[in-house]
Structure 1
Amino acid sequence: MQDKPFTDVSTAATPRRSREESTRPAFVLTVVSHPTPRRAGERLVLGALSSGLPVSVSRVGPDFVLPGATLGMPLADTFISRKPLVFEPAGPDRVRLRVEEGGTPVRVGTEPVTGTREFGPEALREGVPLVLSDRVVLLLHQALPFEAPTNDALGMVGHGQGTRRVREDVIRVADLKVPVLIRGETGSGKELVARAIHQRSPRRNGPFVSVNLGAIPKELAAAELFGARKGAYTGAHQEREGFFRAAHGGTLFLDEVGEAPPEVQVMLLRALETGEVYPVGGSAPVAVDTRLITATDADLEARIVQGSFKAPLLHRLAGYDIQVPPLRERREDIGVLFQHFAREELASLGEGPGLEAMASQETPWLPASLAVRLVSFAWPGNVRQLRNFTRQIVIGSRGQGSLQASPRLEQELEAAAAPGARPSPTPAPVAPSAEEPEQARRKPSEVSDAELLEALRASAWDLKAAAQRLGITRPSLYVLIEKSPSLRTAGDLSVEEISRCYQECQGDLDTMARRLEVSKRGLQRRVRELGLGPA
């Protein structure tokens, strides 16, 4: 039987595009995992869909290419059929997948697809993992279709739109003298961005001094940053240089700048305005030539309203503002990042010739089921958490032919999967209780911030009960809490705040959770980490 023709929509086949087309998001298929590991991150732009035309994808074509590259190749896995999968436009921001009978077996996450399956805007924004023949995992999502090649990766791994935007920001500001404020969640790679700015700046041969303000006791912060004269305070037995002077001629990176005490904020503002610092106990200013880069995962504007952060300082720190996207907003990079960290871990273990030798026509080294879990996970700890997961999976799979997550890691990956990244089976109806009235299932986007806070308070910060009250899943609730401008998690609490509340509430976790307005389970974990509660 003759193979059906497919539509060639590779970027090489459509080289001329208008400016409007190049800035309009398109539907894209990105390789998350493949029996040949180096192919992670390659993508196919389904450009024809925007013109109302279908696109066919099979083993023999079209070509998948890295963003910015010109040459690529088809999926080319012998377990994938020559009979194509067909992607069709199904209305505004909707895509229909049609699977031919006898063609390549396809699963959406964990659910087999027979016939057709439609995906709406919300699922496509999150990214839909497609598993082909239990060997290749593709992510169907939206991205800018045409991008200029980037020769300098700046030490940043990934080809996604958010990663490329950060690279562009680094290139724009690196050679300037203006201070830079880097915003992003914990573990998203803010220090990596700061190092990239330093390495591309005229100060690259000078020192790069990295300081976490949140780890410095508040009473010592001024002396650590600006230096101190001998005898300036109890325990100052010798003169302290300070981080500003240590970074003279180079770059000083201050992480968690939102934790700076009020007196340090005043001194930082003066240092930025005058280029001078006053050591603690000193009477004369010291000139410093230091570029300041700061980072925060806090909402500084909200802290200004609360009176805990000074508006003039924010205006000085944010000479240029860079936003680092969380990992859940650039899922197309998860496969590339996992392979990168796996290579590093294998090299450190001295395990054989490296990742490329793991390519097999029989069994992929990264099983499709594990790849789907990785791309569907919410990653509240971002890139740092992914790196830790990769290390644990690689070490735990030593001596095996393919990777395998431990039962504990499997449970963790499954428990906090992103709400829109993989379809979930329809939950069985649950009889309503007097405490928690039954509500119809609803989209997380329909829940307002005020309604979220009200449900949490009414449920005494029991996240399971709050999710049921709102009619959403627990993973969806986690994402709403992370995105909320008025809520925080147990991880945001300072040691002093937890310790003080523990003493005042006499260790009663229920009372502490209500007072601090955080999840009881997360608070219990922090209490144990600090050695305050029972093991």
Structure 2
Amino acid sequence: MQDKPFTDVSTAATPRHVREESSRPVFVLTIVSHPTPPRAGERLVLGTLASGHAVAMSRVGPDFVLPGATLGMPLADTFISRKPLLFDSTGPDRVRLRVEEGGTQVLVGDQPLVGAREFGPQELREGVPLVLAGRVVLLLHQSLPFAPSAAGDLGMVGHGQSTRRVREDVLRVADLKVPVLIRGETGSGKELVARAIHQRSTRRQGPFVSVNLGAIPKELAAAELFGAKKGAYTGSTQEREGFFRAAHGGTLFLDEVGEAPAEIQGLLLRALETGEVYPVGGTAPVTVDTRLITATDADLEARIVQGTFKAPLLHRLAGYDIQVPPLRERREDIGVLFHHFAREELQSLGETHGLESLAAQGAPWLPAALAVRLVRFSWPGNIRQLRNLTRQIIIGSRGQGALQATPRIEQELAASGPPPAGRAPEPAPAPAPPAAEEPEATRRKPSEVSDAELLEALRTSAWDLKAAAQRLGITRPSLYVLIDRSPSLRTAGDLSAEEIARCFRECKGDLDAMARRLEVSKRGLQRRVRELGLGPS
């Protein structure tokens, strides 16, 4: 990621009362979309609302400023009226927006605002999209005050308080020798955080080795991580260095550490405690000077309860714990992230004039309706999904004057999102009884699930493990345990290369069909397909 400075972690020279005041949330307007696209991310702090003073905003003022910058400018769009919109506070965590007759047309999401509208705590925490004159999209939300620092952005785009908190964590731990555990949903940028730690550490001149532990077949994991002597196992025709030794003097990043088999967990624990590794087939330990950073999207504490993860290993891995927020919790960054990825994609297409040359008074390059849908979407795939969707929109809009989403993308964006802001909340309907053929399972113990019931649930769910776990009424970690212990089920790691290759040809690379035929999880099968170089499905 990219962009501006962030909160300074040093508070020693700051008076206590000032620190306490600066830690109180304030109301902020952040630009999501503007006819001048690079203005995404600029913000106006409505700081006077806390003291009972209203803020008047029009096209001529006040100034919107990038966090950390000293100079800014008003919205300056001639389609926005000089007659101001008025923001005031009706309580410590409530904001009211008033629109005067004949002033700027305002939509709250996709609903016209007439007169006044009050926004409560939950809406402000999630962020309220405001569309001005059909051209400028602002997000009204709460944030901690921005305290500039000279430390830089650490390669991360965004100015939201959760993004700044991650930067602070990176600075706190970067120069230490302790292992770091990075937690966060898939696609949220955990490897980017690991690289930032490495680049700010004393090991920055050493190697940074990144390994997806979940993609390594469990029978090869020990050799891949710790090395192997020649002839240590069938097919071992030369000595293997291993990732720990490859990262000597630098940093080893292990993603999906929650997927480590039990025997690998024990070896990782020994390596952390002694600084030594035993190559497979070797009799003498090898000393390594490698800092270990791990990442997971799994609930390791739950896996400890289930008996699939060792508690001592978690305690050693989490010398310092960093939580990377999902994108839905940093919606104020979506506009600047979209602009960043769009600029990268345009440069890769050779269209370098791209965003910077657009006329400020022309039609908005990012239509307001599309910007609102981007802000409202729940982003289950996080930043990785946003990058991919941005690429598709850019490529699908080549030759057009403005961006446009294909019907498929429109459907995807409409599939997951909060209810439209601006509508009066409707009473929740009474829950309908579940369909007889598909009863909603209540939470129960894994020991209550029979092997036959487990197999039936997996087949009915087309080997979608999340859906199968919900059907059985157990957690996904519990489902993994049941699959591992089942005498009648295999995992993707149990399949031979020949069996996978044959099924890949017969199913023409359709992973869903392959998962149903081979009766293994699609996610695990996808890893094996990549490892075997069979290409994308």
Q: Secondary structure at the match of 2:141?
A: strand
Q: Normalized against structure 1, the TM-score is what?
A: 0.80
Residue 459 of structure 1 pairs with residue 440 of structure 2: yes
- The correspondence for 2:460, drawn from 508, 511, 528, is 508
Q: CA offsets per residue over residues 367-404 of structure 1, 9 Å max, x none?
A: 11110000110001000000000000000000000000
2:176 corresponds to = 176
2:391 corresponds to = 391
| CA distance, structure 2, for counterparts of residue 511 and residue 193 of structure 1 | 32
**Distance 1:274-1:341 versus aligned 2 partners, 3 A rule:** same
- Asked if the contact 2:181–2:295 (Cα under 8 Å) also holds between the matched residues in 1, the reply is yes
1:379 corresponds to = 379
**Distance 1:431-1:89 versus aligned 2 partners, 3 A rule:** closer
- Asked if the contact 2:95–2:119 (Cα under 8 Å) also holds between the matched residues in 1, the reply is yes
- Asked if the contact 2:457–2:468 (Cα under 8 Å) also holds between the matched residues in 1, the reply is no
1:110 corresponds to = 110
| CA distance, structure 2, for counterparts of residue 456 and residue 80 of structure 1 | 55
- Equivalent residue letter for 1:207: P
**Per chain length, whose mean CA-contact separation is higher, i.e. which structure has more relative contact order (CA < 8 Å, sep 6+)?**
2
| CA distance, structure 2, for counterparts of residue 533 and residue 147 of structure 1 | 56
**Distance 1:423-1:378 versus aligned 2 partners, 3 A rule:** farther
- 1:174-213 to structure 2, matched below 5 A, reads 174-213=174-213
**Distance 1:435-1:247 versus aligned 2 partners, 3 A rule:** closer
- Equivalent residue letter for 1:528: D
Cα shift at 1:165: 1.1
- The correspondence for 1:532, drawn from 508, 516, 521, is 516
| CA distance, structure 1, for counterparts of residue 148 and residue 425 of structure 2 | 43
| CA distance, structure 2, for counterparts of residue 250 and residue 362 of structure 1 | 50
Q: Secondary structure at the match of 1:302?
A: helix
- 1:46-57 to structure 2, matched below 5 A, reads 46-57=46-57
Cα shift at 1:514: 9.9
Q: CA offsets per residue over residues 13-72 of structure 1, 9 Å max, x none?
A: xxx993322110011111101111111111111111111221111111111111122221
Q: Normalized against structure 2, the TM-score is what?
A: 0.80
- Asked if the contact 2:50–2:92 (Cα under 8 Å) also holds between the matched residues in 1, the reply is no
Cα shift at 1:512: 7.9
1:405 corresponds to = 405
1:442 corresponds to = none
- Equivalent residue letter for 2:191: E
Q: Secondary structure at the match of 1:322?
A: strand
Cα shift at 1:353: 1.3
2:11 corresponds to = none
Task: Calculate percent identity across the aligned residue pairs.
Answer: 73
Q: CA offsets per residue over residues 309-356 of structure 1, 9 Å max, x none?
A: 111111111111111111000000000000000000000001251321
Cα shift at 1:220: 1.1
Residue 422 of structure 1 pairs with residue 418 of structure 2: no
Indicate the RMSD between aligned Cα atoms, in angstroms.
3.1
**Distance 1:273-1:365 versus aligned 2 partners, 3 A rule:** same
Cα shift at 1:409: 0.3
Q: CA offsets per residue over residues 64-101 of structure 1, 9 Å max, x none?
A: 11112222111111111110001111223111110010
**Distance 1:375-1:456 versus aligned 2 partners, 3 A rule:** farther
Residue 36 of structure 1 pairs with residue 31 of structure 2: no
**Distance 1:81-1:514 versus aligned 2 partners, 3 A rule:** closer
Structure 1 window deviating more from structure 2 (106-115 vs 358-367): it is 358-367
Cα shift at 1:418: 3.1
| CA distance, structure 1, for counterparts of residue 225 and residue 269 of structure 2 | 13
Q: CA offsets per residue over residues 273-312 of structure 1, 9 Å max, x none?
A: 1110001111100011111000011111111111111111
Residue 335 of structure 1 pairs with residue 321 of structure 2: no
**Distance 1:313-1:417 versus aligned 2 partners, 3 A rule:** same
- Asked if the contact 2:139–2:332 (Cα under 8 Å) also holds between the matched residues in 1, the reply is yes
Q: CA offsets per residue over residues 180-239 of structure 1, 9 Å max, x none?
A: 111111000000011111111111111111000110111111111001112222222221
- Asked if the contact 2:128–2:139 (Cα under 8 Å) also holds between the matched residues in 1, the reply is yes
**Distance 1:458-1:150 versus aligned 2 partners, 3 A rule:** farther
| CA distance, structure 2, for counterparts of residue 410 and residue 198 of structure 1 | 39
**Distance 1:302-1:433 versus aligned 2 partners, 3 A rule:** closer
1:495 corresponds to = none
**Distance 1:151-1:274 versus aligned 2 partners, 3 A rule:** closer
Structure 1 window deviating more from structure 2 (232-241 vs 129-138): it is 232-241
- Equivalent residue letter for 2:250: G
Q: Secondary structure at the match of 1:391?
A: helix
- Asked if the contact 1:226–1:242 (Cα under 8 Å) also holds between the matched residues in 2, the reply is yes
Structure 1 unaligned runs (5+)?
A: 1-15, 437-454, 462-483, 488-499
- Asked if the contact 1:502–1:512 (Cα under 8 Å) also holds between the matched residues in 2, the reply is no
**Distance 1:77-1:52 versus aligned 2 partners, 3 A rule:** same
- Asked if the contact 1:90–1:96 (Cα under 8 Å) also holds between the matched residues in 2, the reply is yes
Q: Secondary structure at the match of 2:221?
A: helix
**Distance 1:346-1:236 versus aligned 2 partners, 3 A rule:** same
Q: CA offsets per residue over residues 104-138 of structure 1, 9 Å max, x none?
A: 10000000000011111111110000000011000
- Equivalent residue letter for 2:56: S
2:134 corresponds to = 134
1:274 corresponds to = 274
Structure 1 window deviating more from structure 2 (327-336 vs 62-71): it is 62-71
| CA distance, structure 1, for counterparts of residue 389 and residue 321 of structure 2 | 30
| CA distance, structure 2, for counterparts of residue 428 and residue 180 of structure 1 | 45
Structure 2 unaligned runs (5+)?
A: 1-14, 446-451, 480-509, 519-536
| CA distance, structure 2, for counterparts of residue 512 and residue 391 of structure 1 | 27
Structure 1 window deviating more from structure 2 (340-349 vs 50-59): it is 50-59
- 1:61-460 to structure 2, matched below 5 A, reads 61-419=61-419, 422-423=421-422, 458-459=439-440
